[in-house]
Each structure stands twice: as C-alpha cells, then as structure tokens.
C-alpha cells in the first residue's frame, strides 16, 4: 500500500499485470449479495491489504472514486450491495446490514479466497459511509481480526431516536428507499425502532478495543451531524485509550466537493496502520 499512488496511474496498462475487476456474489442470510472486487496492478507486489466497502442508505451516493484510488495505491477493494439493495436478493432491513458485512469479511478472510485474490489477511479494513459507517463499526465488534475501521460521516440510528429525529428517518426510508426491495417503509422503520439500542454504535463499544478506527467528519453535514452521531463514540473510545483518529473535512454529507481530500485521508490512514503494524520493536 503506497498512498502516493492514490492519484497516479502507470503510463500504460500491461496485458500481464493490469488491474482487474471481478464480479462477485456472496451468500448472507441465505441470500445472494452482488458486487465486485477490484484487484490492483500486479506491478505493485502483493499480498495486498483488503478494503471492504459498506454503502449508505440506500446507496445512491457511491464511493467508486475512493475505491479506485485505493486500488491504484495497492489495495484489493470489495464492494457488495446489502440485501434488498441494487439487485441483491432478500429484503432490506437495518438489522441485516451488520450480518451482511460480517459474512463478506469472513469470506475475504478465508484462506482459499485470500490465496485466490492475493489478500493479506493481517490487513483487512472496513470502510463505510453514512449508514455504512454505522455498519462497519457494528460489524467490527464481531471481527477481532480486522485491522482497522473507517467511518465516514457515519449515521447512528440509536442517536436518531434519542435526538428526536425519527420523523426524518422515516421520511428518508419512505422517499430515498423507493429503490430498495422491502415490504413497506413502515416495516423498515419498525425494524429501526425495535432494534435502535442494538444498532447504536455505542452498544458494546468495548469490543472495539485493539482495532484502529478512523472517524471522518463532514463539518457541513445536516444528515448525520457528527455532534450526535459520531463524536459520542469517538469520545468514549478515546477515554479507553483505543487507537482512534478523528479527521474533519469541510464538506457536506456526501463529501461531494472534497473527494480527493477524502481519498487522501483514508489512504494515508490505511498506509499508517500497515506501517506501524510492521515496525520492529525498539
């Protein structure tokens, strides 16, 4: 992983070494999740750190530019669509998100899969935006082998209810969620309401000890205000001496005007996590 390559391509592709895109389907909860895997240029030597992306709600805002930047820097990048989203089987429910990501990460950590795609299983990272930020944090609590978690403008369903934003949440489900496969907006909302404590990023946060965590705040964010969505967890983890970094980017929820800065922030953090892991003892 070399962050200097985030925005730099080889002069030409090479037939024997150029990056590849592989179609994927991975089973979670008896349903097929569809997505793809980006494999870096083989002129960058493996094994490669793996970055597993988790999309937000409902996934209109993509992070393909971030994925390609990380691939250029020498990462295997896995992008999967959650149940009920963008062609994946099953119905969309908030309680499925963590389970989907756990299944995907365990798939990537499997020795046979790691050998097939030249994945360094000691350096697997979870990166999620918005609702995906909540998802990567909650999944990491069940994946102690994960090297690091990056939560970008993370949404927290628990915080939404405790701060009386439930009407905004329902409106989001009812309008933006029309592209998702679900029985009704009411069912998805009830799923959030009935499981708000389990879904909260603060729940079982002690299980995040030993995992590197990057929070990236969008300071102009009105969808997932960091003061109520991310900072409470960041403060709590700092008190427990967890490996936390907190970065702020002056942008809105999608980071639309600061995409290169976002890629640089995430890429340099991943590189730092890897290099510090391999530093020899003094």
- Write b or e for each residue in 31-56: b if 16 or more Cβ atoms lie within 10 A of its Cβ, otherwise e: bebbbebbbbbeebeeebbbbbbbbb
- Measure the CA–CA gap between 30 and 76, rounded to whole angstroms: 25
Best CA proximity match to 125, nearest among 90, 160, 74: 74
In a domain, 36, yes or no: yes
Question: What is the average pLDDT value for the chain, to the nearest integer?
Answer: 94
Q: What is the pLDDT of residues 141-154, one digit of tens each?
A: 999 999 999 999 99
Query: According to the model, what pLDDT value does residue 282 have?
Result: 44
Range of the domain at 219: 3-277
In a domain, 282, yes or no: no
- pLDDT band of 281, cuts 50, 70, 90: very low
- pLDDT band of 60, cuts 50, 70, 90: confident
Q: Alpha carbon of 6 to those of 1, 29, 73, 223, 275: distances in Å?
A: 10, 35, 5, 28, 17
Query: According to the model, what pLDDT value does residue 210 have?
Result: 83
Q: Alpha carbon of 218 to those of 60, 119, 134, 276: distances in Å?
A: 18, 31, 15, 27
Q: Which residues contact 278 (CB under 8 A, 6 or more apart)?
A: none
Domain tally, the chain: 1
* Cut 0.85: pTM above it: yes
Query: Does the pLDDT at position 66 exceed 80?
Result: yes
Query: According to the model, what pLDDT value does residue 68 have?
Result: 97
Query: According to the model, what pLDDT value does residue 276 have?
Result: 81
- pLDDT band of 209, cuts 50, 70, 90: confident
- Measure the CA–CA gap between 71 and 152, rounded to whole angstroms: 18
In a domain, 208, yes or no: yes
**Residue 224: CATH number of its domain:** 3.40.50.1820
In a domain, 87, yes or no: yes
In a domain, 31, yes or no: yes
Mean local confidence (pLDDT), 227-242: 86
């Amino acid at each position: 992983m070399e962050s200097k390559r985030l925005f730099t391509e080889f002069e030409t592709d090479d037939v024997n070494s150029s990056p590849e895109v592989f179609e994927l389907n991975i089973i979670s909860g008896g349903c097929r999740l569809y997505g793809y895997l980006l494999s870096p240029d083989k002129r960058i030597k493996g094994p490669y750190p793996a970055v597993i992306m988790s999309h937000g709600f409902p996934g209109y805002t993509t992070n393909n530019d971030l994925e390609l930047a990380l691939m250029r820097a020498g990462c295997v990048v896995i992008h999967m669509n959650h149940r009920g989203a963008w062609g994946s089987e099953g119905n969309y429910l908030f309680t499925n998100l963590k389970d989907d990501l756990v299944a995907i990460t365990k798939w990537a950590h499997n020795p046979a899969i790691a050998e097939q795609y030249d994945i360094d299983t000691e350096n697997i990272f979870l990166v999620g935006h918005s609702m995906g930020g909540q998802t990567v944090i909650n999944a990491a609590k069940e994946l102690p082998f994960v090297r690091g978690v990056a939560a970008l403008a993370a949404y927290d369903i628990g915080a939404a209810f405790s701060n009386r934003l439930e009407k905004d949440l329902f409106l989001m489900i009812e309008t933006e969620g029309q592209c998702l496969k679900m029985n009704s907006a009411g069912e998805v909302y009830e799923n959030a309401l009935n499981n708000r404590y389990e879904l909260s990023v603060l729940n079982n946060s002690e299980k995040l000890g030993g995992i590197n965590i990057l929070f990236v705040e969008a300071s102009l964010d009105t969808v997932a205000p960091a003061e109520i969505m991310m900072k409470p967890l960041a403060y709590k983890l700092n008190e427990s001496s967890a490996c936390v970094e907190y970065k702020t980017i002056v942008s809105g929820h999608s980071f639309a005007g600061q995409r290169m800065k976002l890629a640089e922030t995430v890429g340099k953090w991943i590189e730092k996590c890897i290099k510090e892991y391999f530093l020899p003892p003094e």
